[in-house]
Amino acid sequence: MENVLRPLLVLGGSLVITLLVGWLVDLLLRRADSRHHETPLWGLLRLCRPPLQVVLCTALLRASFGQLRIDVVRDNRDAIGQVLTLVLIGATAWLVIRVAATIVQSSYARYATSTRDPARVRRVRTQVTLIQRVVTAVVATVAVAAMLLTFPAMQSVGTSMLASAGVLGIVAGVAAQSTLGNLFAGFQIAFGDMVRLGDTVVVDGEWGTVEEITLTFLTVRTWDERRFTMPVSYFTSNPFENWSRGGVQMSGTVFFQLDHSAPVSAMRDKLRDILGQCAAWDGRDWSLAVTDTSPTTMEVRAVVTAKDADDIWTVRCAVREQMIGWLRDHHPYALPRVVTSPAVLPPGDHWRELTGADHGRTPPNGHVPTPDKAPRTGRG
């Protein structure tokens, strides 16, 4: 009877205690969340209940499994203890990572709700994301190292590993030079405020939005849904355009190549009407002026504004499309034209030499009649 009750007490007691503690923690967090609505920390901490329960249950089993009077447990005591220790270390690392992520997300949420500057919010979001990744990497590394040290073979070689740590560090530093460069570049981007999540950038002639920043690479999503994945060291060693730096508001230009007779004043009135009907225009500024001229055309430039890069593209396309349509329908003479005129033939003697015609007397007026046949080109 004891061989049946003891395992039930050990296993069932561990499970009951785990569930009870989890329920009490969740109840306390719900009450704290209901009292402090302005702080999302307590509500987010409820997400940490699963790893907490795993840690608690594993710790209870690790401490009490030796009380089981079962032959299988007695014969495999060391192996079971090793497995429970590994599970406990992994669950503890999971709990630490979850708690750190919860605190970081709570801090970012409070800052985002209290700050109205989008640029600062994106900067803090970038820094918070990288800090969370660093904490995850450090905790995971420590957890793996702790798991390895639980094996007797790893403990025996610990002294030799520490003795050769200097040499291994030098070798690893040389071998992972590019990786370490990207790692430090990631910190430089995060805390140097060079580029942030959500920034509009132009890299290698491609326009896009920064979608993801990690410790080693950065992803840019272009307007046509393509993704460019680049090492973060590229942004610390090469020039690039950041259209969101210093604010997201932008000014754009639209150029028209028109005839010299184009009605510039009427085009200004039409541009004002077009912008008044365009929802993407932010109403800050607009202008239209002749900026250049050539013997055949003149260049007219329209300047428009918008709240961000996406809207400035929409405004420019709308102005270009509607202005060209208006000129085509109401002022077709303003569109550029190609002027042609009849070609003047060379003097008579030179014409005969080119065409191979018989030499004769040039008429007094110097006009050479057009031959019946086309001039010879040498192709037969």
What pLDDT is recorded for position 374? 44
Identify the DSSP state of 307.
S
Of the residues 190, 214, 242, the one at which a domain ends: 242
Strand order in the sheet with 298-306: 250-258, 298-306, 281-293
**Segments of 54-156 assigned E as strands:** none
Amino acid at 365: N
Do both 11 and 110 map to the same domain? yes
pLDDT in tens, 172-184: 444 444 555 656 6
**Using CA atoms, how far apart are residues 264 and 157, in angstroms rounded to an integer?**
84
Q: What confidence tier does 39 reach under pLDDT thresholds 50, 70, 90? A: low
**Which of 206, 221, 242 delimits the end of a domain?**
242
Q: For the chain, what is the radius of gyration of the CA atoms? A: 38
Same domain, 286 and 205: no
Beta-carbon count within 10 A of 343 CB: 6
CA distance 329 to 323: 10
pLDDT digits (tens, 9 = 90+) for 114-149: 766 666 677 777 777 777 877 888 888 888 888 887
Q: Which residue has the tokens 């709990």?
A: 95
| Token pair 């004891």: residue | 2
Q: Which helix (H) or strand (E) holds 230?
A: strand 227-231
In tens, the pLDDT along 210-267 reads 888 777 778 888 878 888 888 877 777 788 888 777 666 888 899 999 999 999 999 9
What per-residue confidence (pLDDT) applies to 80?
77
Whether 289 and 209 map to the same domain: the answer is no
Q: Report the predicted TM-score, pTM, of the whole model to 2 decimal places.
A: 0.47
Give the Cα separation of 281 and 259 in Å (integer).
Answer: 28
Across the chain, mean pLDDT equals 75
C-beta of residue 203 within 8 angstroms of C-beta of residue 222: no
If you write DSSP's letter for every residue of 314-371 in order, what string do you get? HHHHHHHHHHHHHHHHH-GGGS------PPPPPPHHHHHHHHTPPP-PPPTT-PPPPP
Supply the CATH number for residue 283's domain: 3.30.70.100
- Does residue 319 carry a pLDDT above 90? yes
Most trustworthy range by pLDDT among 50-59, 197-206, 278-287: 278-287
Higher pLDDT, 356 or 324: 324
User: CA 183 → CA 23, 101, 193, 290, distances in Å?
Assistant: 41, 20, 16, 50
Query: Does 269 share its domain with 318?
Result: yes
320 compared with 250, residue with greater pLDDT: 320
User: Both tokens of residue 351?
Assistant: 């014409």
Per-residue pLDDT, 64:
72
165 part of a folded domain: no
Cα–Cα distance measured from residue 56 to residue 59, given in angstroms and rounded to the nearest whole number: 5
Residue 342 counted as domain residue:
no
The range of the structural domain enclosing residue 279 comes to 250-334
Alpha-carbon torsion (265, 266, 270, 273), positive or negative: positive
pLDDT surpasses 90 at 269: yes
Q: Containing H/E element for 274?
A: helix 264-276
Number of compact structural domains in the chain? 3
Q: Who contacts 372 (Cβ-Cβ below 8 Å, separation ≥6)?
A: none
Structure tokens at 299: 């260049």
Among 90, 114, 138, identify where a domain stops.
114
- Mean pLDDT, rounded, for 265-286: 92
Give residue 378's pLDDT: 40
Do 256 and 213 lie in one domain? The reply is no
